[in-house]
Amino acid sequence: MKKELIFLGPPACGKGTQTNKLAQYFGFPHVDTGSLLRAEIASGSENGKIAKQFIDKGQLVPVKLVGDIIKNRLMQEDCQQGFILDGFPRSMEQAEMLEEIRKEIDKDNQVDFRATYFDIDTDVLVLRIVNRRSCSECGEIYNLKFKSPKIEGKCDICGGDLTQRKDDNEETAKARFETYFRETAPLIDYYKNKNVLSSINADGSIEEVWNRLLKVVE
């Protein structure tokens, strides 16, 4: 049976880390909206050119365009046994669009569709964000409190310099949470009412959260 998974939760709740692990575990593609947009732009496709016009102006890419790009990706051969969506949906409009996409790409297939909510206290998330560092070379993510590098300021994997994003500060973090709770949090009830939602405690080590996640998605 085809497995289709989406993760819900506020910024820094650990979705990205667990998505990568789960994609490797199942052998499914990790479909990351941000990476898809960047790939479309780099390819010079018509959708990519349109998306670039919005991004260059600091504007959000229209939902319809994002939906078209995602649909094209989910129709590819490597997604036929399953996929894990990252960064989509983020609003009720996107959730309803995803329903239409799934109707078109799945048709008569038997599908196990699940949404998992990463439940965690906002105070913990602020600590995660302000202490987050990423490798400037390979992109590996660290946290000075929860996952510190062996050598201060250096990546364990490639030795690259660790940097902090300009928006990884307490003021910006709280603003991002306000946006999340206004736009994305309603999806929790949306998927709960469809009886496809599971919740896990996202406060803990990567392995602790991983073990909790496996129990609800396998």
Question: Which residue is catalytic, options 15, 73, 128, 133?
Answer: 15
Question: Which residue is catalytic, options 71, 102, 176, 192?
Answer: 176
Give the list of residues 6+ apart from residue 87 with CB closer than 8 angstroms, or none: 32, 33, 34
57 assigned to active site: no
Question: In the β-sheet with 197-201, what is the strand arrangement from edge to edge?
Answer: 30-32, 82-86, 2-8, 111-119, 197-201
- Residue whose entry in the numeric block shows the structure tokens 């993760």: 7
Q: What DSSP state is assigned to residue 49? A: H
The answer to whether the beta carbons of residues 42 and 35 sit under 8 Å apart is no
73 assigned to active site: no
Coil/strand/helix, residue 101 = helix
Give the list of residues 6+ apart from residue 144 with CB closer than 8 angstroms, or none: 131, 133
165 assigned to active site: yes
Question: Which residue is catalytic, options 145, 165, 174, 194?
Answer: 165
90 assigned to active site: yes
Question: Which residue is catalytic, options 52, 90, 114, 192?
Answer: 90
Question: Which residue is catalytic, options 73, 132, 133, 212?
Answer: 132
- Using DSSP bridges, classify how beta strands 132-135 and 162-163 pair: parallel, antiparallel or unpaired: antiparallel
Q: What does the chain come to in residues?
A: 218
15 assigned to active site: yes
Active-site residues: which are they?
15, 90, 132, 165, 176
